Every structure is written in C-alpha cells, then in structure tokens.
A and B are shown apart, each in its own frame.
Chain A
Amino acid sequence: MEKLKFLKSKDVQTKIYLVLSVIVLLIMGYYSYMNFSKFFSMREQISVNEKLHSALVSTDQNVGDELKKVKEEGSALEQKIKNEIELVLPKTESHTSLTRAIEKFSNDINRVKDPFMLSNLTYSEPEIPESGNYNILPVKMTIHSTYSNFYKFLDFIDNSGALSDGSRLLDVQSIVINFVSPKGSEDNISGQDEINFNASINAYIRK
C-alpha cells in the first residue's frame, strides 16, 4: 500500500491521465480513420449505385423493347421452327406419319422395270440410349429393289431430317443386301442388279 501512495500525487495522476489520453487518442484516431474511410467510401458507392441504377433503368427499357419487338416479329419464324422440329424430331413415336412417308417414297419410285417393293415394315419398342436428348424408334424393313433404287433409298435416308422439308430424321444402322437377280441373269427384268435388302433403321424421338 505504501508503494501505491505515489499514485495520490497530482503530478503522477496528471501523467497517467496524459498517457491514457494519448493512448485513447491514438486508438480512436486509427479507429475513426478506418471507419470514416469505410463510411465515406460507402456513401460514395451509394451515390454511384444510385446514378448507375437510374442509367440502367433506361437500358433495361431499351432491351425490353428490343426483346418485345423480336418476339413479335420472330414469332412466325419461331412457330415455323417449332413445327419443323416437331416433324423432324417429334416428341412422340409418330410411327403412323413415318409409315405414310416411307410408303409414299416407295410408291413414288416403284416401277415395273425399276422395282422398289417394300414388303415388310416392323417397328420395335423405343430404346433409351445412355446419353443424348433423344430416344430411338427402331424400324426394320424388307425391300425388293433395283440397285439404282437402292441408291435412291440411301439418298432418301441421307437427306432426311432437313428442317426445310420437315422430313423425319432417319439413320440406317445396318443393311444386308442379297443380290437375288444380278444383271444379265435370266429372271432379271430391269437390266440391272436386283436385290433384296433388309434395312435396320433408327427414327428418333425428342426427349
């Protein structure tokens, strides 16, 4: 207790207060500097944000007008695309329309001296591939045809899936061709190789 008596001295107390004041002043100076910097930077950012917001309002309006205009003007095209995609890659099996399309092609090229006789058409159950946004509808067909009509058939498959003509997308997976009546053989009436072929074809269904 004797040792603490010096604290009662006014000079010592003065010095203690002075030191404490300096410490508090330093701490508060740093604290105030940091917080005022933060505060004023925030105020500045608020002002920037407010100005930016008012500038963006007009941009939003302009882009909105453009989108509206494009939707109005492009709705016909969008509808057209939608319809064509539905024909090329339908959401359902649509095997009735596909059957009609294949038969129409067959009838269009089938001639007495240039036969293309579709004798069988079988649809299997749709398959779900591991990847891709589509399912597969397998189709098997048996056809008696000349070699040239066979090429026409391959062209028909190769050109299928064009949006412009809305033909169903098809793909030949395998073909087994049997040359049943080669050119020059007795029963050959077309004057060219006549074949029987079995084609396994994939039609596609949109997921």
Chain B
Amino acid sequence: MIKYKEIKTKNMPLFKLKKENPAETSPKEAPTMPPSSVPAKKEEPVGNVYTNIFEKPTAPREEDVKSDIIKGVFTSEEKKLKPGDNILGPLPELEKKIIGAFDPSKRKLNLIRTGFFALIGISLLLIGFFYIELTPNFDLLTGLRGPNTVQKLNNTQKDVIALQTSINQKNYLLLNYYLQEFSYLSDTYLTARNKSLPQNKITDLTNQMLLAYENALTKWKEPMVVAGIPEETFKTELKNNLTLELAKFKKAEAAPDTETQINSYEATIKLIDNKRLSSFFGFNTDEIKAALPMDDSKIVSMANTALEMLQNDFSTISQLKSERMNWATIINEIDKVTKSVDTLYNTGFYEELGGIQYSAYDLDASSGRIVLTGNVKRDDGSTFSLITNLMDALDKSLMFSNIENRNFPKSGTNEEGYSSTFRIELSLENPTLPTTPV
C-alpha cells in the first residue's frame, strides 16, 4: 500500500494536471510563468541551406523555461524558506478530493454506512410488509389486492365455522328426531309391557327402539369441532343459529308444520347443553345386539334414562307419570296387612263374628299421610289388642311408617260383645317398594 507521504513526494506529476488547466491556476503562481510576450532575438543564418533544415522557434522551449523556473525556485527558496515550511504551498483542492478517494478508512466508513442504511431500508420494507399482511384491520390495499393474509385466514376460518355449524345444526336436528322417536317407542314399550302384549309385538318394538338408539348414537358421535377451533365456539354458533331459526319460525305465519318445527328447534337447543346425553349413550349396542332379544330390565333402563334426561314433552309426561302415586298398590297393602291380623276381614262376617271393619280411608299424596278409621269388634273384649296388632302389622310393612293411634275407646257388654273405634294415622314410606307378607 502506498502511504500518503509517499504519494506526496513521489507522485508529483499530479502537478502537471493542475498546470495544464490555466483557469484553475492560482494568482500566486501566475508570476512564475514566462511572459509569452517576450521578444525573441533573430540569429544570423550560418552555413548552407542544409545547415539549418528547421527554423528555430522564436520563443524559448517550455522545458527551458521550466528548468529556469525550477532553478529559480530552488535558488530563491533555499535562501528564504526555513526547515519545516511547505515548499509548494497548500495542496490544490482537486488533489485533496482525489487523494480522499483513495483513503481506505473513509472507504470502509462509506461501505459500512451504506450497508447500515441499506439494512434500515430493508427493515422498513419488512415492517411495512408485515404490517400490510398481518394487521387484521388494514384495508387500504384491499381494493387493489384483496384481503391480506390475516384477513384471508379469518375469512377462511369463518367460512369453515359457518359450514361446520350448518353440519352440526343438521346433525343435532337429526339427533333430536331419533331421540324423540326413541322416547316415543320407550313410552309405548313401557305401556305395552303393563298390558301384556304378544311377544312378537314386544320384539318388534324393541328392534325399533334399538334402531332409533343406534341412529341417535351415530349422530351423537359425529365430530362437532374442526381445525383446532374450540368446541365452545361451535356450541355458541350452533345455539345462535338455532335460536335465530326458532325466532323466524315463531314470527312466521302459522303453517301446518310450524308448531312441529318450533318444538323440534326448542328441544334441539336444550340438547346442546344436556350433560346426561353422554351417560345415555353409554349403552353398548354391540353387546345389546349380541344378547338379543333384549332383556326387559335393560330396555326399561334405557327407556327411563331417555325419558328422564330429555327436556321435551315426553320427559314432562314421563316425569309426571313417575311421580304418580300407585294408590291401588297402597290400598292392596292395607288390605293385605289387615287380613294378616284379622283372617275374616272383608269376608262379610263382621256383624256375626267381629273383627276389623274400616269406615273410611283418607289418602293424601301431597302430605304422604293416610288416615284409616274404622271399628273392631270382639266377644272377649280384646278390641284394644286387635287395634294394636293392626298398628304393629302396619308398622312392619316397608310401605308405611309413623303409625299413630292415641285414643282407644271401648264399649259393649259380655253378652253383646265389645267394640272399639280407631283412627290410625300413618305415613307413606315408599309406595314403590314391593309389599312384604306379614
């Protein structure tokens, strides 16, 4: 590498460039130039025509002038200049620039600086690009190039959610239909088994129930969620869709199937959050099919589960039926217990032989209390014992509890026999329990 000092001393021809341009010559240097107007002496010709082939120039040659100048400079400057002074004076401006271009540190700085600004430029472009592509509400260029990436993603996601919700809605409407069919068949089965229908009809009914159950199960298993979108999103969308449709049906003019549609949509909306569905669909259809014909208890269990879990008209009917008191069973139990105490009860010999005779039953489902009033007649006068025997027998029955009779009146004579009246109060313990022989 050539050092600056070396350039300063060795590459002096640079001066030539400066001198060749008279316009840029400094006024200080002007006096050093030979005056072009100096008259040249004409020498007398010597010899023949061949002695001087060329005509001598009248003006002195440039080299001669230079050498004179240099000589003059050296001679004069040696006298005037001191050590350390610049012989040639200040470096001309042009050279400074040219020398600067060869300055490696400046070149390096320029390079780095250019790189830095290029980096800033690229960064700004990237930031701009990402802002345009990833800002959800950036719509300045939407007219030109359509939605940006994030908007496109949102749009496609919305499309997928809308379409999957439409599928879910249809699947749930189908699920509701199959469950309604199953509920109806369940109600029919539960009624039929009490009426002792022929076996072939029962088998036909259970097959239909199984088919409806399988259809409902298939719909229940249909995936509700896609593309990693949370289930809650689809549930909310589904509820909103069904509610909107329901509102349309309610606003619409009455048509033959409007009420059916309203009922169907209302029941379907209730199905979405029905947590008992998963337990209902816990029945293994393969096991059931392998063990056909279905066991009555299993069918009853399925039927009751379906009727209890669904929040439709079937479930309301089923609930009311299940809460209904079976009075016939209760009265039978009272008769049975009474007969165990008085073997002649209800044989028509009360007047002749005595025993227990009821005058009234007062049965109240809301309080669960029963009041039995009546008379007992005994020749030997043990009417109180008979009443207490009846009370103990009633107490032993699993159906009754809290047996009470605090007043024991007696009347009669040894000849006519003795009689007592009673008013036994008791509570219904569990009217669905099987009766126990006393």
Closest to A204 in B: B320
- Flag whether B119 is at the interface (Cβ < 8 A): yes
In the complex, what distance in Å separates the CA atom of A60 from the CA atom of B374? Answer: 72
Instruction: Report the minimum CB–CB distance from A124 to chain B (whole Å).
Output: 15
Could you tell me the dominant secondary structure of chain A's interface residues? Answer: helix
Q: Which of A24, A163, A175 contacts B187 (CB 8 A)?
A: A163
Question: How distant is the Cα of A13 from the Cα of B317 in the complex, in angstroms?
Answer: 90
- Residues of the B chain whose Cβ atoms lie less than 8 Å from the Cβ of A169: 317, 320-321
Q: How many residues of A contact B (CB 8 A)?
A: 78
Q: Is B109 a contact partner of A158 (Cβ separation < 8 A)?
A: no
Within 8 Å of chain A (Cβ to Cβ): is B74? no
Residue A103 is within 8 A (CB to CB) of chain B in the complex: no
Contact B105 A193 (CB under 8 A): no
Asked if B328 is at the interface (CB within 8 A of a chain A CB), the reply is yes
Inter-subunit contact A179/B357 (CB<8 Å): yes
A185: which of B351, B364, B365 is its contact (CB, 8 Å)? B351
Q: Using an 8 Å CB-CB cutoff, how does the interface string of A176-198 with B read, 1 for contact, 0 for none?
A: 11110011110000010100000
Pairwise interchain contact A158-B326, C-beta atoms closer than 8 A = yes
- Contact at B365–A172, with CB atoms within 8 Å? yes
- Given the interface contacts A63-B174, A171-B324, A184-B350, does A134 sit within 8 Å of B316 by beta carbon? yes
Which residues of the other chain, B, contact A60 by a CB distance below 8 angstroms? 163, 166-167, 170
Cβ contact within 8 Å between A184 and B349? yes
The reply to whether B157 and A49 form a contact with Cβ atoms under 8 Å apart is yes
Please indicate the chain B residues that have their CB under 8 angstroms from the CB of A158 in the complex: 324, 326-328
Say if the beta carbon of A79 comes within 8 Å of chain B: yes
Say which residue of A48, A63, A74, A157 sits within 8 Å of B171 (CB atoms).
A63
Give the nearest-CB partner of A163 in chain B: B187
For chain B, give the interface size range. Answer: 35 or more
The answer to whether B361 touches A177 (Cβ under 8 A) is yes
Determine if A134 and B320 form an interchain contact, defined as CB atoms under 8 angstroms apart: yes
Instruction: Say yes or no: A46 contacts B123, CB within 8 Å.
Output: no
Q: Provide the A46-79 mask, 1 if CB < 8 A to any CB of B, else 0.
A: 1011101100110110011011001100110111
The answer to whether B163 and A132 touch across the interface, beta carbons within 8 angstroms, is: no
Nearest-neighbour CB distance to chain A for B202, whole angstroms, equals 13
| Closest beta carbon of chain B to A110's beta carbon, Å | 19
Asked whether B153 lies within 8 Å of A132 as measured between CB atoms, the reply is no
Interface residues of B in 49-71 (CB under 8 A from A): none
- Known contacts A82-B260, A174-B366; A24 and B120 CB within 8 A of each other: yes
Chain B 238-280 against A: per-residue CB contact (8 Å), 1 yes, 0 no?
A: 0000000000000000000101100110000000000000000
B81 within 8 A of A: no
Is B299 among interface residues, defined by CB-CB distance under 8 A? no
- Tell which of B126, B174, B327, B349 touches A67, judged by Cβ atoms closer than 8 Å: B174
Could you give 6 example pairs across A and B, Cβ below 8 Å? A24-B123, A39-B149, A56-B160, A132-B316, A163-B188, A174-B365
Interface residues of B (CB under 8 A from A): 103, 105-106, 108-109, 112-113, 115-116, 119-120, 122-123, 126-127, 130, 133-134, 149-150, 152-153, 156-157, 159-160, 163-164, 166-167, 170-171, 173-174, 177, 180-181, 184, 187-188, 191-192, 194, 226-227, 257, 259-260, 263-264, 311, 313-314, 316-317, 319-321, 323-328, 331, 346-351, 357-366, 374
Q: List the 3 closest pairs (A to B, CB-CB), nearest first.
A: A184-B348, A49-B156, A162-B191
